[in-house]
Each structure stands twice: as C-alpha cells, then as structure tokens.
A and B are shown apart, each in its own frame.
Chain A
C-alpha cells in the first residue's frame, strides 16, 4: 500500500460568494521514502496541495472533494486534536519564510526545547541536549552559542536550518517543504538542499518538495508533478519529464530555465562616445557618529563605459558593491571620489535632489521587488503618468494617452490603468515599473536584480521584453544581477565585481569564454557544476540520475 495517497483532491475557496477551484481533482501516490517535486508558477495550486497533505486549508478555502491518506490515516477526516498530533508528529512542514515561522521573542533554543516537550516528551536538561544534537545534525555552527540567540540575530540560512531542525523533532515519516530555499542565496541554498537530502535519507521519510525552481526539483526529487491553474499537467519520473516532456506547458517550463549558453545576443553597433562613463570611482558608506568617518570601501577604483544601446551586466555576490554602484549613479547615495559623467558632461555627483531635472530624467531605475516599488495606494495610471507630468508637463489627458501607449509596449492593455498594484501579478507589476521608468524617456536604465523575484517563465518574458525595448529605443542599460545565466541572456558586456573591486570587464562572450581573473573562473565553474547537475536539457541521462 502506498505511504502517501492523494485521490481526486479538490480545494475551493469562496470569492464574491462563488466557489472557485484552487486545486482540481489531483491524485498521486508515493511509496515510503519516495521523493516528489511539485512545480508550477505562482497561483498554480502547488502550495495548496502541499498544505492539504497536513490537513491545512488557507482561511476561506475548503476541501471540496477527495481524500488524503498518510499510511492508514485519513488526514482530512482527523479531529482537530488528532490533526494537531499528526502535524509535527508524523508529518512536518518547512515553509518558505523561516522568519515568520519562528517566534521572534523566544531564543532559538527555547523554541526547540518547547517543541521537544510537546512531541518527544523530554524535559529540562535532556530536552536541551536533544536540541543541541538536532542543531548539530542540521549543521548549525556552534550550537551552544546559537542556542541562546534570537531568530533575528542569525542569518537566513541558519534560520531555515533551525526550522528544519524543529521539523525533525518528532522524526516525521512525511516531510513537506514549501519553497524552503527561495529566500536564500545560491550558495546557502546548496547547503540547505544537501541537508534536506541527508535528513530524508536518515529518516527514510517520504519527501514532498514544492518549488518554482526546476533546477532544485531535478536535484532533489526522483519524481515530479507539474501543476498549472490548479490542475495536474503531468506526473512521472523526473528524468523522463524533463528530457521528454509530453505536455506543451512542461516543454515551455523546461525551455524557460536560463542556461549559460542560451540566447546571448550579438553586440549592437557601438556608438562613438559612451553615454555613461565612470572613472576611478571609490565609495564608502558613512559611519554613524559626529565625525563623518567613512567605513570600509564598498567600491574601489571602479571604471566603466556604457554605450548607447548597450547592456552592461554587473555581476557579483551579495556585498560585492553592485547595488552600491547603481545607487551612486541614481543618486540614492552620495559622496564618492572619482567621476561619473553623462555624455553631455553632467557630473552625476550628489544626491538626486541636488541634480538638475534633466540629469534625473536621463537616468531611471527599476527595482528588485516590483510590489514595494509601486505605491499600493495609487492606480497604475497615477503611477505611469507621474513622470510624464513631472518631466514633460503633460496635461492629464496627454499623459493618459502616453501611458496607454507605454502599457501597450509592455504587452498590457488599457484596462490596467484603473487597477492597483496589488491586483497585478509579479510579472505585470515589474512591467508597470518598467513602463514608469521608460515614461521619463531615459538614456540610461538601471536594472537592480529586476528578475530575481519572478518565476522562471515570467522572468524569461521580462528579459525578452527588455531586449525588445532596448532594440527599439536604443536604451543603455546597467543590468545588475547575481545570476550568471540571466545576465548571459541580456548583456553585451560584463563587469564582475568582488568586494567592491572590478575583477573582469569585457565583452560578455569574452568574459564567459575566457575569464581573466581567478574569481570569475571560480564563479563560472561553480555555475557550470550546478548546471551539469541540474539542467536537464544539457545533462546526460546518467547525470540526472546521479543528481536525484
């Protein structure tokens, strides 16, 4: 008999009095110790399925039909008290955001001890020892010290490991992970995944892994289920699904995974003079205090040229100074040495408010998180027309017409004008943010990690859009990212930063093929290794089997 059996599961929620299906007749079965990945875009119902395995329904949602069995237990039929024992006992869940699943006012250790008392029974000294062992097993550094720390005092990766440790307290037979690494850096992600895999094998637990990241699924799971709009699109062995997907949607999904060798487009005819020129720029953030001391340099001696129509990719890990560079150019911070100039000779020094209106207009920025960069209280019309009215003095009617044209360029219809940002999906929000930046008719567009908050298919859409806009408008673009695969799709040139210093600066092709610095070589080989392990389109059959 299957260990986990889901039959014809349907989950509905009420919207304006009407039942809307979030999940429709999903069925699958897993033997004990099997691993299943559930992939899909946001809104595909993948998290709803994962929650249902533990008998959770979002507020307003309802299990309309079907059953969930774990072993002999009918999960959806359990009484609230039995359900409480089941969760955290036989089944455990690791959610996406570790900070919100830890109690902020209790130390990490106290929370583990409390859980151990609830599920394991040990108390006092024995519980503390057990907590320390768990922390040790989950590779948390220096458990005795971390034991007394509060959740906000430890890093994101450590928090996620604490949550995993707490999920392991009762040695569960079913572990459900809902995008556990989405909020983490790539290197931290790798370590967390390694840990999850080891723990799963130690416990012989059945594992369900929800993610929008196909690379991660390919690494973690022997089987995969693809979901879209609440329905199951395809289900089967990971290797088979990724190498010869049956459904066209799955093919799109697999194709949308950015790879390093993917669609790098050729260098356009480079103009004579750069539109933006930086020479020997160094910058350190001011330390708090009376004497205006400067901290360690975030940028050291950085020089670059950006030509009209060119995309310059700025690559580096967090803390490399890549966002600081964008902030300096945009005027969000000030106080650098060296020179940043536009082609008309304007110095981009000082904060934005001290610059001329023209200088501000010519440099526009698009931010990482589309939701927080759009004011939730304003309509899309207000948001896009503002630069038109501010910089060009257009009347409301003129600005509205221009906004409709801009939206059309972003593949969005005029029906979006009265909507509010929260009514839009992430990809649509980011396109509105782009439209707002382009409304100013900038010469330099600063893109700060603009695709890192988006799903792969949406990310591919936004990148395509960006390339098209650039070709049609001759826009120069500083594209800041930590993701080599993404940057290789859009950048003509690459600048690699490490600790605020330039390691490589050349045509993208040259940097990717023959990096000059050891750091870039390291970055690339780490990426290639990961790609070999997980990118099913490039990997051979045996590679995929090794990975899963």
Chain B
C-alpha cells in the first residue's frame, strides 16, 4: 500500500519566519538585540568610563557629552548605556535558577501527586500570597543586597509561578497515553519525567523565561529606586530615576532617559515573546 497520504501533508513552515511577518515582533527583536549588545559590550562601546568625573555638577547635553553630565559630573550617556547590565544579569541568572527549581518541583508535584503535591503547592500558595515587591523587600532586608543575594532572591520570588505553570502542564501530559505506555513498559520515574514529560515543556518554559526576566528587571529597578537594590557607584536605571527626582522640574531629560531605556527593554521582551509564542502555537493561557 503506497503512502500517498504523506505527500499530502505540507512540510512544517519555518515558524520563525512566520513570526517575523508581524511588525511588533520585529520591533521587539530589534529592541532586545540592542539591549543585549549594550549589556554585553557597553564598557567597550561607551565613549567614556562610567566613573570618570568631567564637570562639577549637572550640565545639559553638549557635543562632548551627548546627554550631559550627572550631579557628580560623570558622562550621562555612558552611564545610561551600562544602566541595565546589573539588573539584567541578576534577573537572568535568578530566573534561570527559578526555572530549574520550578520545573523540578512542578513536574514532581504534577506527576507524583499525593502528599508531595500538597506540600509543594501549599508552600507555593504561601509564597504567592505575599505581594512580590514586599516579599523582595523582606528578603533584601534579611539577606542583604550583594549580587548573589539579589540573584537568589529573584530565584525565590519567581519559583512559585514556574511551579504552577509546570504542574498544570504536567497534569495534562501525564494523562496522555504515551506516559501510560512508558509506565506499562516499566520505565523509572526519572525517565518518565526527564524523557517523556520534560521535552514537551520546553515551549512554555522558553516563554516563562522571557516573561519572568522582563518582570524581574522591572522589580530590581523598582527596588533600586526605593534604595533597596543596586547602589552607587554602579549605574542603574532605577537608581538614576530616583536621583533625577530632585531635579525633575528643571532637568526632566534626566528622568525621562533612564525611564525610556527601561521601558524599551520591557516592551522589547514582551513583543518578542508574544510574537514567538503565537508563531509556535503556545497559548498565553498555558503560561498563566
């Protein structure tokens, strides 16, 4: 019997190219690329060092200093370029840790069920019942605010969300016949989790990763603004906004520039995630 049906099935279209058909996705990708390049190479690209002092106070934009100098007299453009590095690094590292921990705990809760599910989920509910910013503030006051502490704090804050999403998806997958086939075959639990279930989580985990990083960057910036996060002399957008508060009526660009930098990163990530998720058929419902 000839397999004519196979030829009738169209080959999978290149989904990435499909995503690029949407202008919003392209804008998002461009923004994210710019921010990634800045995060990686800002010290090399920037015209001046972030700590060198040129004037004795605020100066408006000039040919030497395109965005002027800040209160201490440092080049504002160079500091702005580096202003997202620490927040992005801490967020990315912390969220990766959250994804790893959340996937392990979420899959276990969803697949094994029973008392393990109860313990993990009640713990998750407890953490999620505290407002995120408040939880971060409490943890910062407890663990301090060096980079490692901030990274761990981001991990702790974002793990519960990942657990929920992964558990829900695991429940759906565990009910499918291929998991039952693996059980009947006598596969070990680690094999079923790692080989049968985990590969099917990659799509939503990629979306989780991007969304949570953008949320974490925002939280870290808010923290810096409140004086609980990154502190001088490290340049940081949240911190720069906070410093600009005192001169907001006289030199507004001081506040506007870091705000634009921060928003463009968040908007870029969100547009990119939306576009890719749509192209790869990952519904936003699944990502909670």
Residues of A within 8 A of B (CB): 13-16, 20, 41-43, 229, 330-332, 352-353, 355, 357, 360, 364-365, 367-369, 372-378, 386-387, 390, 411-412, 423-425, 427-428, 436, 440, 461
Q: Which of A16, A43, A386 contacts B185 (CB 8 A)?
A: A386
Q: Which of chain B's residues 171-188 have a Cβ closer than 8 Å to chain A?
A: 176-178, 180-181, 183-187
Whether A229 and B8, one on each chain, are in contact in the complex, defined by CB atoms closer than 8 angstroms, is: yes
Residues of chain B within 8 A of A424, CB atoms compared: 6
Other CB < 8 Å A-B pairs besides A372-B177, A373-B176, A436-B181, 12 of them?
Answer: A15-B10, A352-B184, A360-B184, A365-B181, A377-B200, A378-B199, A390-B185, A412-B3, A423-B9, A423-B12, A425-B9, A428-B6
Whether A16 and B183, one on each chain, are in contact in the complex, defined by CB atoms closer than 8 angstroms, is: no
Residues of chain A within 8 A of B8, CB atoms compared: 43, 229
Question: Any chain A CB within 8 A of the CB of B64?
Answer: no
State the main secondary structure of chain B at its contact with A: helix
- Distance of B116 from chain A, by nearest CB (Å): 17
Whether B178 and A373, one on each chain, are in contact in the complex, defined by CB atoms closer than 8 angstroms, is: yes
Residues of chain A within 8 A of B6, CB atoms compared: 424-425, 428
Q: Name 13 A/B residue pairs within 8 A (Cβ), A-sorted.
A: A15-B10, A15-B11, A15-B13, A16-B11, A229-B4, A330-B184, A353-B183, A360-B186, A364-B184, A365-B184, A373-B176, A373-B178, A376-B200
Interface membership of chain B positions 5-45, coded 1 if the CB is closer than 8 angstroms to chain A and 0 otherwise: 11011111110000000000000000000000000000000
Please give me the residue from chain B that is nearest to A18 by CB atom: B10
Residues of chain A within 8 A of B9, CB atoms compared: 43, 423, 425
Residues of chain B within 8 A of A374, CB atoms compared: 178
Query: Once the chains are docked, how many angstroms separate the CA of A340 from the CA of B8?
Result: 45
Query: Once the chains are docked, how many angstroms separate the CA of A67 from the CA of B53?
Result: 75
Query: Once the chains are docked, how many angstroms separate the CA of A43 from the CA of B5?
Result: 8
Residues of chain A within 8 A of B180, CB atoms compared: 332, 367, 373
Whether A375 and B200, one on each chain, are in contact in the complex, defined by CB atoms closer than 8 angstroms, is: yes
Number of interface residues of B (CB under 8 A): 27
Question: Any chain A CB within 8 A of the CB of B1?
Answer: yes
Query: Once the chains are docked, how many angstroms separate the CA of A517 from the CA of B185?
Result: 37
Q: Which of B4, B14, B176 contacts A16 (CB 8 A)?
A: B14
Residues of chain B within 8 A of A14, CB atoms compared: 13
Query: Once the chains are docked, how many angstroms separate the CA of A367 from the CA of B184?
Result: 12
Query: Once the chains are docked, how many angstroms separate the CA of A449 from the CA of B14?
Result: 36
Whether A373 and B1, one on each chain, are in contact in the complex, defined by CB atoms closer than 8 angstroms, is: no
Query: Once the chains are docked, how many angstroms separate the CA of A330 from the CA of B183?
Result: 10
Interface membership of chain B positions 177-215, coded 1 if the CB is closer than 8 angstroms to chain A and 0 otherwise: 110110111110000000110011010000000000000
Residues of chain B within 8 A of A386, CB atoms compared: 185
Residues of chain A within 8 A of B10, CB atoms compared: 13, 15-16, 20
Query: Once the chains are docked, how many angstroms separate the CA of A14 from the CA of B10?
Result: 9
Residues of chain B within 8 A of A427, CB atoms compared: 5
- Distance of A515 from chain B, by nearest CB (Å): 33
Please give me the residue from chain B that is nearest to A229 by CB atom: B8
Whether A332 and B184, one on each chain, are in contact in the complex, defined by CB atoms closer than 8 angstroms, is: yes
Whether A373 and B181, one on each chain, are in contact in the complex, defined by CB atoms closer than 8 angstroms, is: yes
Residues of chain A within 8 A of B181, CB atoms compared: 365, 367, 373, 436
Whether A360 and B185, one on each chain, are in contact in the complex, defined by CB atoms closer than 8 angstroms, is: yes
Residues of B within 8 A of A (CB): 1, 3-6, 8-14, 176-178, 180-181, 183-187, 195-196, 199-200, 202
Question: Are A375 and B196 also in contact (CB < 8 A) when A424-B6, A425-B6, A425-B9 are?
Answer: yes
Please give me the residue from chain B that is nearest to A351 by CB atom: B183
Query: Once the chains are docked, how many angstroms separate the CA of A353 from the CA of B186?
Result: 5
Whether B177 and A411, one on each chain, are in contact in the complex, defined by CB atoms closer than 8 angstroms, is: no
Whether A390 and B178, one on each chain, are in contact in the complex, defined by CB atoms closer than 8 angstroms, is: no
Whether A331 and B184, one on each chain, are in contact in the complex, defined by CB atoms closer than 8 angstroms, is: yes
- Distance of A383 from chain B, by nearest CB (Å): 8
- Distance of A406 from chain B, by nearest CB (Å): 16
Query: Once the chains are docked, how many angstroms separate the CA of A10 from the CA of B185?
Result: 48
Query: Once the chains are docked, how many angstroms separate the CA of A436 from the CA of B187?
Result: 14
Whether B187 and A369, one on each chain, are in contact in the complex, defined by CB atoms closer than 8 angstroms, is: no
Whether B186 and A352, one on each chain, are in contact in the complex, defined by CB atoms closer than 8 angstroms, is: yes
Query: Once the chains are docked, how many angstroms separate the CA of A331 from the CA of B185?
Result: 10
Question: Are A373 and B177 also in contact (CB < 8 A) when A41-B5, A412-B3, A428-B3 are?
Answer: yes
Whether B186 and A372, one on each chain, are in contact in the complex, defined by CB atoms closer than 8 angstroms, is: no
List of 10 A-B pairs having minimum Cβ-Cβ separation, nearest first: A377-B199, A373-B177, A15-B10, A425-B5, A367-B177, A375-B178, A360-B186, A43-B8, A352-B184, A372-B176
Please give me the residue from chain A that is nearest to B203 by CB atom: A377
Query: Once the chains are docked, how many angstroms separate the CA of A367 from the CA of B181?
Result: 9
- Distance of A299 from chain B, by nearest CB (Å): 19
Query: Once the chains are docked, how many angstroms separate the CA of A407 from the CA of B180?
Result: 23
Whether A428 and B5, one on each chain, are in contact in the complex, defined by CB atoms closer than 8 angstroms, is: yes
Query: Once the chains are docked, how many angstroms separate the CA of A386 from the CA of B183?
Result: 13
Please give me the residue from chain B that is nearest to A436 by CB atom: B181
Please give me the residue from chain A that is nearest to B176 by CB atom: A372
Query: Once the chains are docked, how many angstroms separate the CA of A23 from the CA of B180?
Result: 39
Whether A411 and B1, one on each chain, are in contact in the complex, defined by CB atoms closer than 8 angstroms, is: yes
- Distance of A357 from chain B, by nearest CB (Å): 6
Whether A390 and B184, one on each chain, are in contact in the complex, defined by CB atoms closer than 8 angstroms, is: no
Question: Are A357 and B186 also in contact (CB < 8 A) when A376-B200, A411-B1, A424-B6 are?
Answer: yes
Query: Once the chains are docked, how many angstroms separate the CA of A423 from the CA of B9?
Result: 7
Query: Once the chains are docked, how many angstroms separate the CA of A13 from the CA of B9?
Result: 12
Please give me the residue from chain A that is nearest to B196 by CB atom: A375
Query: Once the chains are docked, how many angstroms separate the CA of A377 from the CA of B4?
Result: 24
Query: Once the chains are docked, how many angstroms separate the CA of A456 from the CA of B200?
Result: 32
Residues of chain A within 8 A of B187, CB atoms compared: 390
Residues of chain B within 8 A of A357, CB atoms compared: 186
Please give me the residue from chain B that is nearest to A465 by CB atom: B1
Please give me the residue from chain A that is nearest to B10 by CB atom: A15
- Distance of A415 from chain B, by nearest CB (Å): 9
Residues of chain B within 8 A of A229, CB atoms compared: 4, 8
Query: Once the chains are docked, how many angstroms separate the CA of A375 from the CA of B199?
Result: 9
Query: Once the chains are docked, how many angstroms separate the CA of A427 from the CA of B176?
Result: 19
Please give me the residue from chain A that is nearest to B199 by CB atom: A377
Please give me the residue from chain B that is nearest to A377 by CB atom: B199
Query: Once the chains are docked, how many angstroms separate the CA of A263 from the CA of B120?
Result: 57
Residues of chain A within 8 A of B195, CB atoms compared: 378
